[in-house]
Structure 1
């Protein structure tokens, strides 16, 4: 039979076991949480390292891209130089036989051969023909075209509505700018000095009670129309702008579609400029 003392001892033992079990459970949970926190920190470090590596790779890629573009530009320049040099050799090889060939059978006082006037003219003309047709002139011509600036702007200075018949050219009597001398006040037309792409714009004013309808014509073809109508006591203004491909010598002008009037006093203007040339550099 268990005594009271034995019972107390058993109870104490159970309490110690229970406390030990709880403490062990708490310790295990703490260990798991600490482990998870370490893993999270490790993942964050890995993510940061990946982000840094990605940024570094992008910087290196942009650097390589820039160097590649520089190399392509340099290759293009070298190809142009080589092409021009080869064309010069080609011309020299064509001209050399002409220079070595006996010019004629005439002999001077000191025993040397001399050229007659006819022979000199013939060989000089041949030299010019070969040099003008040799390869590489296209490259030089493109460089020459690229260095040219072509632009014009003209307006109608005379005030008040000026009546213009149908299909008649609108003449802008005052030149504000005419680099390249393409615009003519006498004809009211712009003649393209070079083949390429151009930009043209037109602004026209109309007085109250009048209307106007005009056309922008490129090389005889109507490209765009513009219309303005002054109602009651109000003025009206119309405008158009286009980009057009033109050959050297093409004319561009403004024509009255219907017989009417335009208002001057610097409110009506016609402008244009050269954007870029042909790939072949043709004039």
Structure 2
């Protein structure tokens, strides 16, 4: 650790299943740091034991993270190097660590990320869906109404959608996807890097059938990937028609706010966008 000052926090990515995926740099740093902050110390102790290490550890999870900031900051101020790890994958990515990193950066502490396994990137690399643009939305809400509302908000996005899901909610999520995005290409990645790693491809309805036919496919943690919505192409004819309609509405004395609502209802898009367009047209006349 000759290139970093004493008192550095290392954000270390750890395996999501296969222990051989731990990088040599991560293994070396775990051996060199003074202590380890882990999401679940009992779980992470198995990784350290696998590496032949016995390090002082303290827990850092969603329920105590804010309270741990001062404690960890005091260790760093004393010149200790600390590794932050989660149960699996990259810390902060749907795992604890954001509050800690944000607060320590505000205190000008030195923070070094050590890249490595990440379930969403691993899943995308093997799914066969577009990866030039994607949206990661973490875990969907657990309650049915909130889940449907979230999917309704995402369904017009043209990027590939990526969610995490647990085994006891995967069927409910597919049912909600079938309501909101029926016919879309969906890929389920489960048990990534483990013995029973599986990629299932189909529509929400066909995937539901597969999980019902083989309940074993509903086991394990999931990365759910959904093809984005097809792009909305606005033709030249539609553009001319939109301009004609807006001009007519303004000429008839329709208020800008009401005209924006009418335009959004006919042509789609955000009311705010139509409002700004109408305001521009109004100022030009």
TM bucket normalised to smaller: under 0.3
Report the structure, 1 or 2, having the larger strand content. Answer: 1
Higher relative contact order structure (alpha carbons within 8 Å, sequence separation ≥ 6): 1
User: What TM-score, normalized to structure 2?
Assistant: 0.20
User: What TM-score, normalized to structure 1?
Assistant: 0.20
